[in-house]
Amino acid sequence: MDSLEQSGGRIASAIVKLGGKGQAPSPFRLGQVLEAGQGRLRVSCGGLQLERGDLYLAAGLDYQWTEDTGGPELLRSGDTVALLSADEQTYYLVARMVRA
């Protein structure tokens, strides 16, 4: 016979699973640039490390720079970025996020 805590845990897990059904997960993800510049781009997102070839990049963002001019379009190591992915296979890096 299960303890009250084990039974309660199973019930809570079942409720969480049921609550998630019928709701599509958000396609928005936040990531962090691990490396950028000189043609290199590596982003951490949801436990994955995405390389340049794994990403579609919004027009206007730049990872190929050779000198950091301070421009807002330059992706830099440590930047927080917004990504979209409907299937967790294809990732679209849509924006570089900055604190207001």
Residue 23 lies in a domain: no
- 28-75: pLDDT as tens digits: 999 999 999 999 999 999 999 999 999 999 999 999 999 999 999 999
**pTM of the entire structure?**
0.74
Q: How many CB atoms lie within 10 A of CB 91?
A: 22
Residue 90 lies in a domain: yes
Residue 51 lies in a domain: yes
Contact between 74 and 62 under an 8 Å Cβ cutoff? The reply is yes
User: Which CATH number covers residue 46?
Assistant: 2.40.50.140
Q: How many domains does the chain have?
A: 1
Residues 6 or more apart whose Cβ sits within 8 Å of residue 80:
30, 31, 32, 33, 96, 97
- Residue 76 scores a pLDDT above 90: yes
Residue 4 lies in a domain: no
- Residue 6 scores a pLDDT above 70: no
Q: What percentage of the chain carries pLDDT values higher than 90?
A: 66
Task: Taking the CA atoms of 57, 76, 81 and 99 in sequence, report the sign of the dihedral they define.
Answer: negative
pLDDT at 22: 64
Whole domain around residue 84: which residue ranges? 28-97
pLDDT at 81: 96
Phi then psi for residue 81, to 5 deg, are -125, 150
